[in-house]
Amino acid sequence: ADIVGPEGSSIEPVGWAEADVTLAGQTVRHPVILARKFNQKLLLGTDFMFEIGLVLDIQDR
């Protein structure tokens, strides 16, 4: 299955790895997708946010 970026085009995934991601002093080993056409260094998905217990309160900003 192809993976698309926010604009709808393929990010051309080439594989995956596990990486240690540290956010707010908490380190989690998490699977990451390696891609050819992705302009950002990192995109955190909802699976990662759920794993670390991050709660987004969009209504109250």
pLDDT at residue 1 tops 80? no
Cα angle, residue 49 at apex, residues 48 and 51 outer, rounded to 5°: 65
pLDDT tens per residue, range 8-49: 889 999 999 999 998 888 899 999 999 999 888 888 888 888
Look at residue 3 in the predicted model and tell me its pLDDT: 86
Look at residue 19 in the predicted model and tell me its pLDDT: 94
Strand (E) positions, the chain? Answer: 13-23, 26-35
